[in-house]
Amino acid sequence: IALLISVLTAFACLCLTPAGAKEVYINGIDFGFPPFGYVDKSGNPAGFDVECVNWIAKEMGFEVKHQPMDWDGIIPALNAKKIDFIASGMSATESREKIVNFTMAYYEVSQVLVVLKDRTEDLNTLLTTGKKIGSQRGTTSTKRLKDLLATEKYKFEIVEYDSTDLSIEDLKIGRIDGSAMDSSIAYELNKDGAYKTAGAFDVPTEKYGYAVRKGDDKLLNLLNQGLKKLMADPQWQVLKDKYDIH
Ligand code: ARG
């Protein structure tokens, strides 16, 4: 009977799966990171990363779902197979490369400190006079701040946030004196008129890539091929212009 049931089930599955059904891959993404990932006014996933991945999926013949995730747990979620990849402004760092694989780089950033427009202190002063500096938990910005604090020269307090958006809200109302973030995001903020960049951290630049589980070479290849095609296609510039990415 068990055999009969399994044969019948297999048959039913075969019949119900349309021929050539596309593979569905889930992109884990933090939507508090405009213009790379955010939710638009009608509640739909939007942003540079979202549209690039949608283009790649169409081109490479798979389907993609964008699953909102907390940044801090995003790599553990990938390795626990809750999501299949991460296209979310993630820097391909050496320590992350030990636990996930990254595609080719698609964008380069540095770390900067954003303050309210009327602040007059430079980066160095802000970081040596006991100020409150915000950053998103689990990011390279937070890592950088912690590394600085470990040296005697610096004196400030780190205030960690679940999203970069939240740190910017607190910056706006004066709860923190500065917020450390990727230059890509700071560029967008500076257009607002309320903020400016107090300076860039003296660190090597970082490169964004999409992360997949180690050993998932099938998806890594699809994403790499798709990214390569996209970056050679006129659509690459169209999307960069649309989201004002430089
Ligand atoms: N690039 C930085 C990092 O990889 C910050 C990324 C934050 N991305 C995001 N979607 N919140 O740590």
> Same domain for 185 and 229?
no
CATH code for position 143: 3.40.190.10
108: helix, strand or coil: strand
Q: 46-55, 125-134, 198-207: which range is least confident on average?
A: 198-207
Measured CA to CA, the distance from residue 121 to residue 188 in angstroms comes to 21
17 assigned to some structural domain: no
Which atom of ligand 1 lies closest to the CA of 30? 10
Alpha carbons within 13 angstroms on the beta-carbon side of residue 117 total 7
177 assigned to some structural domain: yes
User: What pLDDT does 14 receive?
Assistant: 55
Which atom of ligand 1 lies closest to the CA of 109? 1
**Ligand 1 centroid, distance to 112 Cα (angstroms):** 13
Among left, alpha and beta (phi > 0; psi -120 to 50; other), residue 215 is: left
**Displacement of CA 142 from its chain's centroid (Å):** 14
**Helical packing angle, 234-242 and 48-60, nearest 10°:** 160
**Dihedral pair phi/psi, residue 230, rounded to 5°:** -60, -45
What value of ipTM does the predicted structure carry? Answer: 0.97
Each residue of 196-223: pLDDT tens digit? Answer: 999 988 768 999 999 999 999 999 999 9
Mutate to test the pocket of ligand 1, among 52, 91, 185 (most ligand atoms within 8 A of CB): 91
Q: Give the domain extent around 34.
A: 24-108+207-242
**Ligand 1 centroid, distance to 14 Cα (angstroms):** 41
**Ligand 1 centroid, distance to 91 Cα (angstroms):** 7
Question: Dihedral of CA 109/31/165/72: which sign?
Answer: negative
Mutate to test the pocket of ligand 1, among 29, 71, 75, 205 (most ligand atoms within 8 A of CB): 71
Measured CA to CA, the distance from residue 58 to residue 63 in angstroms comes to 7
> Same domain for 200 and 217?
no
Res. 192 pLDDT band, cuts 50 70 90? confident
Percent helix, strand and coil across the chain, each rounded to 5? 40, 25, 35
Question: How many helices and strands (H and E) does the chain possess?
Answer: 10, 14
Each residue of 90-108: pLDDT tens digit? Answer: 999 999 999 999 999 999 9
158 assigned to some structural domain: yes
- Residue ranges around ligand 1 (CB below 6 Å): 30, 33, 37, 71, 88-91, 136, 139-140, 164, 182, 206
